[in-house]
Structure 1
């Protein structure tokens, strides 16, 4: 079964909007694990507008599932990951002022840079993944960086699927097959939801993990957090 990692950034966004510690990020992560999720994802940004670097430090000792930290590998981020030592680090080429992730790595242009960063993380026993668009040349470039996995950026799939395109997942299918032959594990994330996750899962082979935050937390406002997580788990079987 494809693992579900829940991105809890939006819980931190709500906390930060009011100040104080409600909702509590640590309590939310514990509940998410108790409800069956197989991982927790955070994506700290330099301005700490949602998840704070301190949150990542506080989460590590209390989590019982896989901890995935996403972010652009600036020195502050690298230092955090090496200190916390999550199960997985996902490298994302965000601009510092990006509202949300909006592009994958150019693994050809940044091959040497990625190889250096990935080597350091792997030497510290941390599984690495890099955020990429569904492009075969980019997938081939990813394999040359030494990364363990890729995370397919799924916004274009979500848009095409919502517009009724029956071939919305085709480029992801092709890239997943290629990545698998190159020895890469396959993750996916961004704009996946209860409406499209079943179709994506059924059409993209070798899918190890999906990381879902915005849609899942939004759906939980209507369905409840436990019921929402259970629905995702059922659709991912």
Structure 2
């Protein structure tokens, strides 16, 4: 099974936002990624607009609709409210209708997403949101830790997929930690459980060319979302070459 590569463009927007104007262009870099073989584009618009802005989401939604077979994934906190020109997360995704909406339990004071949902506390609140998004034609994925009990709850609240949070795995791989085999096994077990109960499997956070060959062992993996590492690699090799390298790495060839 082909593991789809969705390129997260947040860091391109972060660089752009350090100056006035539209340089570098998020849309132009999305076009480069798609031309080089990316299967999709991911963005994570936050209320503070530190990187991706609402107009980026609108422009990328229009671009991806023009590209046959290219999926657009918008991720974020489903309870993020309107703030200035940010219309609120759910109104923005209902307006732009991405192929996939990945719900993430982050907040403005987090540097980046760093944990999955605790559905024992948030499941009842999420259930109608998930139903609303699915009724609007979106696939819904929940950002989750590799916790089998929590993944069962993801199925119960109506999710189509989970996105396994790979931050601790990636850190253990970088440090060559003795914990790495156990962490990888936890992800394998979580993914197999997700498969067994009918959930699709995505993954993301600090995956890169060094740790992906190991993470490919996770059963049923359908999609990875990669932004930070791919953007860093693009500095050395160019974005088109980086996308091609990640495609080869995911294919295991």
Calculate the TM-score normalised by the size of structure 1: 0.97
2:206 partner SS:
coil
Q: Which runs of 4+ in 1 moved over 3 A?
A: none
Q: Match of 1:123?
A: 135
How far is 1:163 from its partner? 2.5
Alignment of 1:48-197 (within 5 A): 48-63=49-64, 64=67, 65-74=70-79, 75=81, 76-164=88-176, 165=178, 166-167=180-181, 168-197=183-212
Aligned partner of 1:222 among 236, 245, 248: 236
Q: Hey, what's the Cα distance between the residues in 2 that align with 1:101 and 1:87?
A: 21
1:6 partner SS:
strand
**Greater mean alpha carbon deviation, residues 72-81 or residues 181-190:** 72-81
| Offset from partner CA, 1:10-36 (integer Å, 9 cap, x none) | 000000011211001111111110010
Aligned partner of 1:210 among 224, 233, 236: 224
Count of residue correspondences? 236
| Offset from partner CA, 1:132-190 (integer Å, 9 cap, x none) | 01111111111111000000000010111223245041100000000000100000000
| Backbone CA RMSD of aligned residues | 1.0
1:69 partner SS:
strand
Q: Hey, what's the Cα distance between the residues in 2 that align with 1:188 and 1:139?
A: 13
1:79 partner SS:
helix
Q: Hey, what's the Cα distance between the residues in 2 that align with 1:206 and 1:179?
A: 9
Q: Hey, what's the Cα distance between the residues in 1 that align with 2:20 and 2:51?
A: 11
Q: Match of 1:26?
A: 27
**Greater mean alpha carbon deviation, residues 133-142 or residues 81-90:** 133-142
**Greater mean alpha carbon deviation, residues 134-143 or residues 186-195:** 134-143
Unaligned runs of 5+ in 1: none
Q: Hey, what's the Cα distance between the residues in 2 that align with 1:162 and 1:96?
A: 27
Unaligned runs of 5+ in 2: 82-87
How far is 1:48 from its partner? 0.5
2:74 partner SS:
strand
Q: Hey, what's the Cα distance between the residues in 2 that align with 1:103 and 1:60?
A: 27
Alignment of 1:37-52 (within 5 A): 37-52=38-53
